[in-house]
Amino acid sequence: MNQTEPVRGVAASPDRKPLAFYGVNVASRLLLGSALYPSPKVMSDAIHASRAAIVTVSLRREQARGRTGTRFLDLIRALPVHLLPNTAGCRTAREAITTAEMARELLETDWIKLEVIANDDTLQPDLFGLVEAATELAKRGFKVFPYTTEDLSAAERLVSAGCRVLMPWGSPIGTARGLSNPHALKTLRAYFPDLPLVIDAGIGAPSHAAAAMEMGYDAVLLNTAVARAHDPVRMAAAFASAIEAGREAFEAGLMAPSDRAQPSTPVAGTPFFDFGPGDASRST
Amino acid sequence: MDTTTTTTATNREREIIVNGQPLATAAATLAELVDKQGFAGVKVATALNGDFVAERLRAATSLGAGDRIEILTVRQGG
């Protein structure tokens, strides 16, 4: 873990150190997926509107004599973003490692969003396969962005393997449920105060993303909530605003909740109007 | 390819699996297969029987009956 980065906590941090992944500074705290948009143009416009600095892509089978991949690659490479290839759909460490190697050659990046999926119903990360794959990929020089859960032991193993960012799920991919386990996510944040942490998956609304940022998460990765919106371009902008607001609130220092009401208007100088005994029912 | 070599090639054809589909091919190497499948000049990445094969190693990678080849490209993803 990078111990030189200041711990950000409840107290406001005067220095606004930019977010960095593996030494690469990024100006935006929104990472956006490139899938499920109604058209390539809407995808491009949504990425622009989101102000995202990192966009995820996948590797899929190319059709014989096809040019689909080339067209998509040309389109997405023209955008002013870093590309983060994923290993979506991989069920074993070996599949994920092979996919990562293929992605590195195709995109000339050693960044990899590592997904090893345990089952098709929940798309839950297989933490054992994830740690195995992350360990091997780090040895091969990859900069791994692991899609994980809020599990602390898995997180520790991933960090020991060389991961310098963790991406715990908010809730299962595509569910739009937001942060299912906020207490555990807070614990993870507190446990790794200096490590970039990104909420990945399950975000359905800008308020979910803002909540993650208010909690001190460094960034949010989402796809479906933007791509499947009635107007993906406007939704991308809405998420960008929510994420910036949530981060600003975290850095400003949120007040602690209280069980007791506290008057916000000063008590000193409160006038007391005496309406007499007949007005007792109105005096509350 | 002339008729003579086609006949010879047929004898040399082997059944492999390309992107999940069976294919009878005379391609002797992975590089030849990628060309024959129409990917010359197209940015693709390859794997043989589950292991990555770098572009520079495709010409030296020979194919055998039953080999499983994956030819992938960059697509939309989350």
Q: What is the pLDDT, as a whole number, of residue A271?
A: 87
* pLDDT tens, position by position, A107-124: 999 999 999 999 988 899
By the CB < 8 Å criterion, does B24 face chain A?
no
Using pLDDT thresholds of 50, 70 and 90, give the confidence band for residue A69.
Answer: confident
Contact assessment for residue A169 and residue A146, using Cβ atoms and an 8 Å cutoff: no
* pLDDT tens, position by position, A120-160: 888 999 999 999 999 999 999 999 999 999 999 999 999 99
Residue numbers in B near A43 (CB within 8 A): 76
Contact pairs from chain A to chain B, CB under 8 Å:
115
By the CB < 8 Å criterion, does A82 face chain B?
no
Q: Please confirm, yes or no, whether A139 is among the known catalytic residues.
A: no
Residue numbers in A near B47 (CB within 8 A): 98, 102
Using pLDDT thresholds of 50, 70 and 90, give the confidence band for residue A267.
Answer: confident
Residue of A nearest to B19 (CA): A61
CB contact under 8 A, B77 and A86: yes
Pairing status of strand A54-61 against strand A82-85: parallel
Token look-up 């970039």 returns: A196
Which residues of chain B, if any, have pLDDT below 70?
1-11
CB contact under 8 A, A69 and B37: no
Residue numbers in B near A58 (CB within 8 A): 74-78
Residue numbers in A near B52 (CB within 8 A): 97-98, 101-102, 105
Q: Tell me the pTM.
A: 0.88
Choose, from A17, A41, A113, A139, the residue flagged as catalytic.
A113
Q: What is the 3-state secondary structure (H, E, C) of A180-200?
A: CCHHHHHHHHHHCCCCCEEEE
Confirm whether the ipTM is greater than 0.95.
no
Selection from A251, A274, A242, A277 nearest residue A28 by Cα: A242
CA pair distance A208, B41, nearest whole angstrom: 44
**Mean pLDDT of the A54-80 span:** 88
* pLDDT tens, position by position, A191-249: 999 999 999 999 999 999 999 999 999 999 999 999 999 999 999 999 999 999 999 99
Asked whether residue A51 carries a pLDDT value surpassing 60, the answer given is: yes
CA pair distance A25, A126, nearest whole angstrom: 30
Contact assessment for residue A96 and residue A116, using Cβ atoms and an 8 Å cutoff: yes
By the CB < 8 Å criterion, does B20 face chain A?
yes
